[in-house]
Amino acid sequence: MIIRKALAVTAAAGLLSAALVACGGDGDSDSTDTAGLTGAPITVEVITTLNSVTPHTESYEGAQAAAAAVNASGGINGRPLKVEVCDAGETDTPAKAIACARDLVADRDVIAEVGDFQAFQEQTNTILNEAGVPNIGPPPQSQSALNSPNSFPLSGSEGAAIATVLADAGATDIQVAFTNVAQAAAAVQFNTAALQKGRGLTIKGGIPIDVTATDLTPAVTRGADGDAVALAMMPTHFAAWLTTTKAGDYDQKLAASSSVLRPETLKALGDKADGVLVASGLPLVSSDQEGIVRY
């Protein structure tokens, strides 16, 4: 545990210091380019969704870019930094995510998870914590990631600020609509705490949406019983919600996490997405730099 922690902190520091350099580069570097580096690789792993309705390939790609920058700068004490990835699969079942966590724990060459981004963080980090494996930089969207000694979040959760964005826009009667998986469902609890402590308001209630749902009219109708809805949901539900509201007589303020604002989703929605407020952990940046475009 001590060795894993020490190496994990060193590797994480290297990834963080390299992130800005990597994003500003030409995007051609690869963490497998370890010419001149000696010794066994220091290996970390990203558990994220690569093939699902909510893919987050940028978590892995960003870690790869940062590792490439670390290796191009001499590695970690001359040792190469290697990033592996495990696909957590679809959002309707935790089976693949749990298997990823168990395989990571079993592989003694992997010293830590980094950049976790998937729907079943509570289950996966519980496994990592029980094995004493560090989890570096998870978005704090579960009780396990917030409270476990193995977990080292590096930022707040933008999903917890969706209702706050609405309150700052003048809303007082706010509900949270969420895709009914554990990590999205936690948005109700987190937004309740953030809104109460930060703005002195309470969440009116939660509106769960089944993962397989395509007709969101019942959910949107429930959302009309208030002046605003925080949308903690996967991109397909986000698109379906906006399509339903634009087709009907709904005028509630809406806000969503930047993670659902995928380019293809926004392109398909067109002006239906106009007016949606955005909660983001980072500034929304438009740039022609290839590193930023790729990420």
Q: Indicate if 122 and 199 belong to the same structural domain.
A: no
How many distinct structural domains can be found in the chain? 2
Gap between the Cα atoms of 39 and 41, Å rounded: 6
Q: Indicate if 47 and 169 belong to the same structural domain.
A: no
Share of the chain above pLDDT 90, in %: 52
Residue 18 within a domain? yes
Average pLDDT over residues 51-64: 81
Q: Indicate if 191 and 97 belong to the same structural domain.
A: no
Q: Indicate if 145 and 162 belong to the same structural domain.
A: no
CB neighbour list of residue 107: distance below 8 Å, 6 or more residues apart? none
Q: According to the model, what pLDDT value does residue 15 have?
A: 54
Return the bridge partners of 113, or none: 45, 135
| Count of residues in the chain | 295
109 or 92: which leads in pLDDT: 109
The dihedrals phi and psi of 262, each to the nearest 5 degrees, come to -75, 140
Residue 80 DSSP class: P
Return the bridge partners of 179, or none: 209
pLDDT greater than 90 at residue 285: no
Gap between the Cα atoms of 167 and 200, Å rounded: 10
Give me the CATH number covering residue 15: 3.40.50.2300
Q: Which of 121, 154, 187 is the last residue of a domain?
A: 154
Write down the pTM of the prediction.
0.68
Gap between the Cα atoms of 73 and 69, Å rounded: 6
CB contact at 8 A, 136 and 12: yes
Gap between the Cα atoms of 30 and 11, Å rounded: 17
pLDDT greater than 70 at residue 11: no
Q: Indicate if 121 and 72 belong to the same structural domain.
A: yes
Q: Indicate if 99 and 209 belong to the same structural domain.
A: no
Q: Indicate if 109 and 184 belong to the same structural domain.
A: no
Q: Indicate if 136 and 205 belong to the same structural domain.
A: no
Q: Indicate if 17 and 149 belong to the same structural domain.
A: yes
- Enter the tokens of residue 208: 């769960």
- Enter the tokens of residue 247: 């087709």
Highest mean pLDDT among 89-93, 111-115, 276-280: 111-115
User: What is the domain range of residue 194?
Assistant: 158-279
